[in-house]
């Protein structure tokens, strides 16, 4: 593969490959080696290499691809692999190969090392990203198989099937996090570059990179979101919200695309709707975002409309009904029967012409069910589509509405209000280290970096820090264990500790808070979030 940036074809191939790995890992009759041999052969569709080797914790070398050459293995055994730099040239049988490797940390201090060799030319940056993402999938496969071997066989076949589906979803969720890490770094770096002085052609190229990365991130986020919903790994957070403001916000986001496609957008809101309702506004927005985006996406001419109605019920309950309608391509009756299934669009030509993962409507359907609601579709091919969403919500009591409406909005934190913290970044990924550091420098801060929890503890012995940005998944010592040890050692004199991670499940946040972390920010990190947490915690 040529080029220096991973493209959407390569990413989609990797997602398909990792999904197959997840499926295969559920088969007890398939060994890790057999699954890996199959996966490595499929990897050749997106990556060029001559050899792929796996070195286990006992230094045993297994050839996953290429001729199983004794002399090659002997040469590799003599190399200090983990001390080499990527694209080191090695001589095997009088032939020069470029070597690249990835260390896969497993359970109980065990590690495997995945080695790729290529003759003739070095691996480019696109190849390095592909290898890093593939290695993350292999690591998750090895851990999953190891855990599976420890479990007793479940007696009930229904339980076996249920557990298999859960493990697959957990695998996809973890893999999505691994995929998001490098893309978050690219996105943050591009955003920082966009804030500098640029020539017009440079700005256009950066805008293209930014949009492409956002699109790739959307694909991965959809996979992550669906896997989370599939395992019922979601908690609803209800709070009062203004329905009118929500609809206004969502339609405003569509104005640019509506104008670009020369469509018309209309909204009809029942005049006597309550000023405020109680529900999970983020999930409602996510559901409607998918429907409205699809409406605009699949409409070439005509209009998109949203209608909001509802009726009051007993005990302060309220049934909200939202209709999203378009004059787009529509669909057949047959297509409507499986429309809410994952990875499905109207037909193959729809996917080719309009793109997308086919997860948006599956996610919307599951969100509606999670909120005890319902979603239905009415469509005619070539005539357009209408989605009906019904959600059971609560009305805000009059006294609560008065208190809410009279409250003064919080003043946003400014740089001048930030505390002069001494900051330590605990992060193992080089790209994320750079991104966090550049954002802090932009705000006028100096900082130190620790590549894992143990190094952070060593640095705390040498210097007083008032604030720590703590990653979670790191080798040697993870963020959870490091936080526990810091609290144990320094008690009330400890620095403020904020989790900085791509693990964004509700249980991930709860675990961070339960062990004593002070706050949580999700990757990709933003300048606004850094300002928020730094302003929130005074120097101890």
Residues 150 and 182 occupy one common structural domain: no
pLDDT string in tens for the chain (540-residue length) = 445 556 666 777 777 787 777 777 777 677 888 889 999 998 888 888 999 999 988 889 999 999 888 888 999 999 998 889 989 999 988 899 999 999 998 877 788 999 999 998 899 888 888 888 888 888 888 887 777 666 645 555 556 666 666 676 667 656 666 777 777 777 778 878 887 888 888 888 887 787 777 767 766 777 666 666 665 656 677 888 999 999 998 888 888 889 989 999 999 999 999 989 999 887 898 899 889 988 998 999 999 999 999 999 988 899 999 999 999 999 888 888 888 876 555 554 444 444 455 677 888 888 899 899 999 999 999 999 999 999 999 998 654 443 343 444 444 444 544 678 999 999 998 888 988 998 898 888 999 999 999 999 999 999 999 999 999 989 999 999 999 999 999 999 999 999 998 776 667 888 999 999 999 998 878 888 898 898 888 887
Q: Which residue has the tokens 């750079």?
A: 434
Residues 356 and 291 occupy one common structural domain: yes
Sign of the four-CA dihedral 2, 8, 12, 14: positive
* Tokens standing for residue 52: 């792929």
DSSP assigned state of 420: -
Residues 429 and 463 occupy one common structural domain: yes
Answer whether residue 434 is part of any domain.
yes
Residues 348 and 435 occupy one common structural domain: no
The H or E element spanning position 507 is helix 506-514
What is the SS3 string spanning 178-236? HHHHHHHHHHHHHHHHHCCCCCHHHHHHHHHHHHHHHHHHHHHHHHHHHHHHHCCCCCC
Answer whether residue 178 is part of any domain.
yes
Q: Domain limits at 492? A: 423-535
Show which of 125, 157, 189 is a domain's final residue. 157
Residues 147 and 179 occupy one common structural domain: no
DSSP assigned state of 6: -
pLDDT at site 414 = 43
Residues 380 and 471 occupy one common structural domain: no
Beta strand 264-269 pairing with 317-326: unpaired
pTM above 0.75, yes or no: no
* Tokens standing for residue 18: 């990792």
Q: Which residue has the tokens 């850094």?
A: 530
Domain count, the chain: 4
Answer whether residue 403 is part of any domain.
no
Residues 276 and 204 occupy one common structural domain: no
Sign of the four-CA dihedral 73, 74, 75, 80: positive
d(CA 131, CA 44): 11
* Tokens standing for residue 379: 């469509």
Specify the CATH number for the domain of residue 68: 3.30.450.40
Specify the CATH number for the domain of residue 174: 1.10.287.130
Specify the CATH number for the domain of residue 243: 3.30.565.10
The H or E element spanning position 390 is strand 384-395
Q: How far is C-alpha 78 from the chain's CA centre?
A: 39
Answer whether residue 359 is part of any domain.
yes
Residues 511 and 526 occupy one common structural domain: yes
pLDDT at site 33 = 84
Among candidate residues 360, 361, 353, the one with its CA nearest the CA of residue 300 = 353
pLDDT at site 232 = 61
Dmax (CA) of the chain: 84
d(CA 102, CA 130): 11
d(CA 84, CA 238): 52
- Give me the sheet containing 423-426, strands edge to edge: 447-450, 423-426, 467-470, 496-501, 519-522
Decide if 82 contacts 59 (C-beta within 8 A). no
DSSP assigned state of 83: G
Answer whether residue 416 is part of any domain.
no
Query: For residue 465, what are the CA distances in angstroms to 399, 425, 446?
Result: 45, 10, 11
d(CA 288, CA 367): 10
Residue 459, class by beta-carbon neighbours within 10 Å (0-12 exposed, 13-18 middle, 19+ buried)?
Answer: middle
Answer whether residue 361 is part of any domain.
yes
Answer whether residue 407 is part of any domain.
no
Residue 487, class by beta-carbon neighbours within 10 Å (0-12 exposed, 13-18 middle, 19+ buried)?
Answer: middle
pLDDT at site 408 = 45
CB atoms within 10 A of CB 417: 11
d(CA 309, CA 322): 6
Query: For residue 317, what are the CA distances in angstroms to 140, 199, 230, 242?
Result: 45, 56, 28, 16
Show which of 157, 186, 217 is a domain's final residue. 157
Helix (H, G, I), strand (E, B) or coil at 443: coil
Residues 151 and 170 occupy one common structural domain: no
H-state helical runs in 231-314: 243-260, 281-297
Residues 124 and 221 occupy one common structural domain: no
Residues 210 and 285 occupy one common structural domain: no
Q: How many residues does the structure list for the chain?
A: 540
Residue 430, class by beta-carbon neighbours within 10 Å (0-12 exposed, 13-18 middle, 19+ buried)?
Answer: exposed
pLDDT at site 430 = 84
Specify the CATH number for the domain of residue 519: 3.40.50.2300
Residues 52 and 189 occupy one common structural domain: no
Helix (H, G, I), strand (E, B) or coil at 172: helix
d(CA 479, CA 424): 13
* Tokens standing for residue 257: 């695309």
Answer whether residue 412 is part of any domain.
no
Show which of 139, 157, 175 is a domain's final residue. 157
d(CA 177, CA 173): 7
Helix (H, G, I), strand (E, B) or coil at 397: coil
d(CA 56, CA 100): 16
pLDDT at site 413 = 43
pLDDT at site 185 = 76
């Amino acid at each position: 593969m040529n080029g220096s940036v991973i493209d959407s074809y390569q990413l989609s191939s990797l997602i398909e490959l990792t999904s197959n790995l997840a499926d295969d890992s559920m088969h007890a009759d398939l060994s890790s080696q057999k699954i890996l041999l199959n996966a490595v052969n499929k990897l050749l569709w997106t990556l060029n290499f001559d050899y792929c080797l796996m070195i286990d914790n006992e230094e045993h070398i297994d050839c996953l691809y290429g001729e199983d050459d004794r002399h090659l293995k002997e040469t590799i055994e003599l190399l200090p692999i983990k001390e080499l730099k990527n694209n080191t040239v090695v001589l095997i049988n009088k032939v020069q190969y470029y070597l690249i490797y990835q260390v896969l940390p497993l359970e109980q201090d065990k590690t495997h090392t995945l080695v790729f060799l290529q003759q003739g030319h070095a691996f480019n940056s696109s190849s390095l990203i592909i290898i890093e993402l593939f290695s993350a999938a292999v690591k998750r496969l090895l851990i999953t198989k190891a855990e599976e071997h420890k479990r007793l066989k479940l007696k009930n076949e229904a339980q076996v099937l249920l557990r298999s589906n859960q493990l697959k979803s957990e695998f996809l969720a973890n893999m999505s996090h691994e995929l998001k890490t490098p893309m978050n770094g690219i996105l943050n770096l591009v955003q920082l570059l966009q804030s500098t002085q640029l020539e017009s052609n440079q700005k256009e190229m950066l805008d293209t990179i930014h949009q492409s990365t956002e699109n790739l991130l959307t694909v991965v986020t959809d996979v992550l979101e669906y896997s989370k919903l599939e395992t019922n790994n979601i908690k609803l957070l209800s709070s009062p919200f203004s329905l009118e403001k929500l609809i206004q916000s969502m339609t405003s986001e569509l104005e640019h695309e509506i104008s670009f496609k020369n469509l018309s957008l209309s909204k009809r809101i029942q005049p006597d709707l309550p000023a405020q309702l109680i529900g999970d506004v983020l999930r409602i927005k996510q559901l409607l975002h998918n429907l409205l985006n699809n409406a605009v996406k699949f409409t070439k001419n005509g209009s998109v409309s949203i209608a909001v109605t509802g009726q009051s019920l007993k005990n302060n309950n309220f049934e909200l009904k939202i209709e999203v309608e378009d004059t787009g391509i529509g669909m057949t009756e047959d297509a409507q029967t499986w429309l809410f299934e994952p990875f499905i669009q109207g037909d193959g030509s729809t996917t080719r012409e309009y793109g997308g993962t086919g997860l948006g409507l599956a996610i919307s359907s599951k969100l509606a069910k999670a909120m005890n609601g319902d979603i239905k579709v009415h469509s005619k091919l070539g005539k357009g589509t209408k989605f009906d969403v019904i959600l059971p919500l609560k009305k805000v009591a009059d006294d609560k509405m008065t208190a809410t409406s009279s409250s003064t909005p919080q003043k946003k934190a400014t740089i001048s209000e930030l505390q002069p913290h001494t900051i330590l970044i605990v992060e193992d990924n080089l790209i994320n280290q750079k991104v966090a550091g550049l954002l802090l420098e932009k705000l006028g801060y100096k900082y130190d970096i620790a590549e894992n929890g143990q190094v952070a503890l060593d640095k705390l012995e040498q210097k007083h820090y008032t604030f720590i940005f703590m990653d979670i998944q790191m080798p040697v010592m993870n963020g959870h264990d490091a936080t526990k040890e810091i609290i144990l050692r320094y008690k009330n004199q400890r620095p403020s500790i904020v989790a900085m991670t791509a693990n964004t499940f509700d249980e991930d946040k709860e675990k961070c808070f339960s062990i004593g972390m002070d706050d949580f920010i999700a990757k990709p990190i933003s300048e606004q979030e850094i300002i928020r947490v730094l302003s929130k915690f005074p120097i101890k």
